[in-house]
Structure 1
Amino acid sequence: MQVSCAFPTALDSADNIVLAERLGYDRAWLYDTPQQSPDVWMTLALAAARTERIGIGPGVLVPSLRHPMANASATATLCALAPDRVAVAFGTGFTGRRAMGYRAVPWSFMAAYIRAYRGLLRGEVVEWEGSRMQMLHPDGHAPARPVDVPVLVGALGPKGNGVTAEMGDGLFATLQVPDFVNEYSWSAYLAWGTVLDDDERPDSEHARLAGGPGWALSLHGAYEFGGPDAVRTLPGGGEWLDVVTATPEDERHLAVHSGHCVELNPADRAAWDAGGHTTLRDVTLSGTRDEVHRKLDTLRSSGVSEIVFQPCGPDVQSELERFLDAARG
């Protein structure tokens, strides 16, 4: 199983990717979350110029944020800067859309978008929004077409699985491991957590800073996919809802997604302090070195071929080192 990493795109992401390459990570993915991040393509270009071996790419692109020509051109540019190191993943938009008040894009739109995007990279004339178009980049403006780049698709259910099988080269899963993960030779799984010391409590300051942002996704996901009733069943869920529902309904998505994958927002902190931290080991890859290693063995056995770990907290280097040590056993 390959061991990769991911980062919420930030001004220091290129530095972190350089570090990940030095430590031995196989690939580094950056999120496409413009409501809280600098531009993912600009940041990947900076990383490409400063690295030599590590794979890089956006994980995941949200189709509605850019025209397929814009993403195809950006992909070609990155392939020119980092030959044979680029992969691209697409998703329907969790925080990339929901943090702006939108729902996920339909799978029919996703399939049409990826079809147009891949056709453009092959040099074909494609139709989009009623117009015929083609990548017209002269020599020196982009690599010659076709531009061959692997495409992974973020999917959890049967519709997503169908699009992945038809349009993708592999699967990019998060929040849970789908039943069909072993149907793909390339199955990346994005996870959060932290390696705890053997005697460390799950409510330690280190656990909160390094494991908390990933743990909070259990609340965010429950709210987005199951509604308030699903959140109330979780430890600290009532306290979390008290904070979120104090926000006007038309801005409630801002209270839910603030600090996404970076830090605990006020609602998350209320839930954590109310006992939510007790589920840290259950909803993330957190645990002692041996516990994390066993969890990774289980993921490998289920069909995951690439574990993608996102470090959190103030000491990214320590988190990357701890996780890589646990992964290697």
Structure 2
Amino acid sequence: MSNPENTTVELSCGLPPGPEFSDLATLAEECGYARVWIFGSAPLWEDPFAHLALAASRTSRIGFGTAVSIPSERSEMAMASSIATVARISGGRFRVCFGTGATARRTMGRAPLPLKMVGEYLSAVRGLLEGQTVTIDGSPVRMLHAEGLAAPRPVDAQIWLSAFGPRAIELAGRVADGIIGQHPHPTLPTATMRAGTVLEPGEHRESRRVREAVGPWRAVAYHEAYAIAGARAVDAMPGGARWRAEVERLAPEGERHLLTHQGHVTHLTERDLPLTGFDGGFPSMIGEPDAIRAELTRLAGRGVREVIYTPSGPDVARELTTFAAAAR
């Protein structure tokens, strides 16, 4: 889908749940970001809903979302109650996006969830938030929160789906209000994620600062290649064989999933450092302000509704501030 007449796009940001989240969410609001999407992976980060509640209480305008919530980490009822809590505290500024848990589950040696299971989970959570009685594990269940103990049903929160393949895109059309994906959905609003950094005047795109700023996202390509396709795939990438050899030296075969995604999208391990010169993998926006604005305009013309900027590196506050300024 393309929309040549649409040359604007919402600019949001994506951040991990951790000690700095609420401070960075406050900064993002000051910088004019439309929304903060919080990452979700129990083996890697703290609880996202606790941080969302804190950030929501410290802000007044900016929206929030999860990118992404994983069905296997919370029961349907626990998830509905968590969503209702953040929706109430934020005054309706919250949407939740679900995914199959590709990275989170692989860090525990498990496969991503089947899409069918994700679809059933979303439908149950939506029903609970609407005040319906739904069947879970063979029993009828409903949100029983008394008046004054939770927001009244229906709870005001959109439900989105992380959809990158054709089956997920088709499922989203049936169960979701929008998607996070690489390509615009034919009928639903689409947000897409981009790493990157704004260059200083005269700065080279492969300077040490740039490599440190985007390095955690560049390393993701190696992590995923090894986790999904194995040794041959990662060995074909620049520096991949050496990276793999270090992982396999440090852990026996049954425990390598504990190291593969270490520092995922936030930090670089010693074995990841040489990979920062690989300019590929996760989509990134690296350039001076004019180039950043041009890329945002291009994405809007393709039909992307929202760009989720995912800063990383040693100075996330700098990245948030300069990117927002470049996008204006």
Same structural fold, with TM-score higher than 0.5 when normalized by the shorter chain:
yes
Q: Which moved more, 1:140-149 or 1:16-25?
A: 140-149
Deviation of 1:108 (Å): 0.5
Aligned to 1:292, the other structure's residue is in SS state helix
Tell me, which stretches of 5 or more residues in structure 2 are unaligned? 1-8
Query: Aligned-pair RMSD on alpha carbons?
Result: 1.8
- Which residue in 2 is equivalent to 1:240? 243
- Which residue in 1 is equivalent to 2:264? 260
Q: How many residue pairs align between the two structures? A: 319
Q: Distance in 2 between matches of 1:63 and 1:46?
A: 23
Q: 1:210 aligns with which of 193, 210, 213?
A: 213
Aligned to 2:203, the other structure's residue is in SS state coil
**Measured at CA, do residues 198 and 281 of structure 1 come closer, stay the same or move farther in structure 2, by a change above 3 Å?**
farther
Question: Deviation string for 1:1-21 (max 9, x for gaps)?
Answer: 100001011111011101100
- Which residue in 2 is equivalent to 1:292? 292
- 1:39-188 matched pairs, under 5 angstroms: 39-173=47-181, 177-178=182-183, 181-188=184-191
Q: Distance in 2 between matches of 1:215 and 1:223?
A: 14
- Which residue in 1 is equivalent to 2:320? 320
Q: 1:222 aligns with which of 203, 221, 225?
A: 225
Q: Distance in 2 between matches of 1:148 and 1:154?
A: 20
2:215–2:275 Cα contact (<8 Å) kept: no
2:194–2:283 Cα contact (<8 Å) kept: no
Question: Deviation string for 1:153-175 (max 9, x for gaps)?
Answer: 001111111211100001112xx
Deviation of 1:280 (Å): 5.1
**Measured at CA, do residues 227 and 210 of structure 1 come closer, stay the same or move farther in structure 2, by a change above 3 Å?**
same
Q: Which moved more, 1:51-60 or 1:91-100?
A: 91-100
Aligned to 1:137, the other structure's residue is in SS state coil
Aligned to 2:279, the other structure's residue is in SS state helix
- Which residue in 2 is equivalent to 1:194? 197
Instruction: Identify which of structures 1 and 2 has the higher relative contact order when contacts are C-alpha pairs closer than 8 Å and 6+ apart.
Output: 2
2:14–2:309 Cα contact (<8 Å) kept: yes
1:30–1:60 Cα contact (<8 Å) kept: yes
Aligned to 2:267, the other structure's residue is in SS state coil
One-letter code of the match for 2:75?
A: H
2:194–2:282 Cα contact (<8 Å) kept: no
Deviation of 1:236 (Å): 1.8
2:220–2:281 Cα contact (<8 Å) kept: no
Deviation of 1:281 (Å): 9.1
1:185–1:305 Cα contact (<8 Å) kept: no
Deviation of 1:198 (Å): 4.3
Deviation of 1:193 (Å): 1.7
- Which residue in 1 is equivalent to 2:4? none
Deviation of 1:249 (Å): 1.4
**Measured at CA, do residues 58 and 282 of structure 1 come closer, stay the same or move farther in structure 2, by a change above 3 Å?**
closer
Q: Which contiguous aligned blocks of 4+ residues in structure 1 show a shift greater than 6 angstroms?
A: none
Q: Distance in 2 between matches of 1:191 and 1:34?
A: 22
Deviation of 1:186 (Å): 1.6
Question: Deviation string for 1:133-161 (max 9, x for gaps)?
Answer: 00000011111111131111001111111
Aligned to 2:285, the other structure's residue is in SS state coil
Deviation of 1:290 (Å): 3.0
Q: Distance in 1 between matches of 2:45 and 2:319?
A: 21
Q: Distance in 2 between matches of 1:3 and 1:210?
A: 19
Question: Deviation string for 1:81-128 (max 9, x for gaps)?
Answer: 111211110011122211121111000100110010000001111111
Q: Distance in 2 between matches of 1:75 and 1:205?
A: 40
Tell me, which stretches of 5 or more residues in structure 1 are unaligned? none
Aligned to 1:29, the other structure's residue is in SS state strand
